[in-house]
Structure 1
């Protein structure tokens, strides 16, 4: 993505990561089976295709990297384990 952006004058941070990944998967077989001269040509065309998958400028977008608590069918453990075991055995 960095090579595509700098080569063709598009800011690399504006390129789509998923679009680049998708195109790379598509071009992988052609790159592996091609000769060295063909590989260079295919690589340049891959860079051109990646540049066309740009995302709009979205200022102020910052997603915090946090883990959300997953909702489960069981209640939270609010008492000590030993006390909960005693309750289960007497019930």
Structure 2
């Protein structure tokens, strides 16, 4: 995982599989980089390099979305494959997708 800040926007790039073992790391990274974003800014999670996203990974995204909402930070998931987008939507997390 890597993160880049441009202005008020932070993008976290995630790769590989986000499963039960790596979802905790994703949650930790998202919580840390959220502190880089000022209210009114945005946190984007780029899943273009993710091949598998487990329920634990979706839970990490949903948790991050809630934290951002509480601090008036826009949250979005970008770059996900059609399959991952479909799974996110089926899990009721369509609000995370852009």
Shorter-normalised TM-score: what interval?
Answer: under 0.3
TM-score normalized by the length of structure 2: 0.26
Q: Which has the larger radius of gyration?
A: 1
TM-score, normalising length from structure 1?
Answer: 0.27
Higher helix proportion, which one?
Answer: 1
More strand by share: 2
